[in-house]
Amino acid sequence: MRLTVRHTTRYRYDTPLANAMQQLRLTPPHGPGQRILSWSINAPGIERATAYHDAFGNLVHMISSSLPIEEVEITATGEVETADLAGVIGQEVAEAPVRVFTRVTQLTEANQAIRKLAQLITPADQIAGCHALMHAIRDKVGYRIGVTETHASAQEALATGEGVCQDHAHIFIAAARAAGVPARYTSGYLHLEAEQESEAHHAWAEAWLEGLGWVGFDISNGLCPTDRYIRLTVGLDSRSASPIRGIRFGGTEENLRVEVDVLRAEGQQQQQ
């Protein structure tokens, strides 16, 4: 499937910024299940950006501005050819060793309730255990926007009983790591079907399973990623995998608006 993406992020400030620096992780990688046909980023200072790969292999563009600004608009656009691998990424060559993804962070720390969920994963059948974990989390935490705070922890989301894709992913990752299974947070894009309860800018989890390598689990939709998904970034949690991170000086209040469109490229036959 060929998918087109337009991802726009707008920041507006009540008073002008004196200075700002931002890390843009807005370029999806070539890899299993996806081939980048075209991609571009339009942002203030992008022509002077420093580009590098972070510890997790994400391509980062560092932009900065020293001029007073009241509004910043960042847009990533492109076309990606995808394939349905039933969520199996495999044993890709990566910057970080697999064992890094057993590290517990503030957002993925397990408590007694999460460790109980972790018991669904057994050494005898990790893949079945991860599927069971995915569905158990979705049963316990309903999908609802605006209930949890940005970067809420796995413990907070599970206790609330409602949340969004990043909350589902954090709980899965916390439980998987508690069971001794390396797991990472994945941010990306989703071409939505009518029955899917999520947004086009999406997040899911990936677990490292013996014999398979990395396998994706979209807890919010109760399935492994298909050709409707585009992987953008990976990290230990939503903070380290965030597509845009930065610091600013000035501007006492920030208004943020994000718009994401993921469409099928023109000229493709619709699936039956």
Instruction: Give the domains, in start order, of the chain with CATH numbers.
Output: 2-81+242-264 (2.60.40.2250), 85-235 (3.10.620.30)
Query: How much is the CA Rg of the chain, to the nearest whole Å?
Result: 19
The predicted pLDDT at position 20 comes to: 75
In a 13 Å sphere around the CA of 127, the CA atoms on its Cβ side amount to 11
User: pLDDT tens across 35-79, in order?
Assistant: 999 999 999 889 999 999 999 999 999 998 766 677 889 999 999
Cα distance between residue 266 and residue 225, in whole Å? 22
In a 13 Å sphere around the CA of 100, the CA atoms on its Cβ side amount to 15
Phi and psi at residue 8, in whole multiples of 5°? -115, 130
Provide the whole-model pTM.
0.92
What one-character DSSP code corresponds to residue 265? P
User: pLDDT tens across 91-118, in order?
Assistant: 887 768 899 999 999 999 999 999 999 9
In which band, very low, low, confident or very high, does the pLDDT at 18 lie, cut at 50, 70 and 90?
Answer: low
DSSP secondary structure string for all residues of 116-132: HHHTT-BTTBHHHHHHH
Are 101 and 184 in contact by the 8 Å Cβ rule? The answer is: yes
User: Taking the chain, what is the end-to-end CA distance rounded to the nearest angstrom?
Assistant: 13
Is the pLDDT at 17 greater than 70? The verdict is: no
- The least confident of 4-13, 30-39, 88-97, 262-271 is 262-271
The predicted pLDDT at position 65 comes to: 75
CA distances from 77 to 1, 43, 117, 163 (A): 17, 12, 39, 28
Q: Which residue has the higher pLDDT, 155 or 267?
A: 155
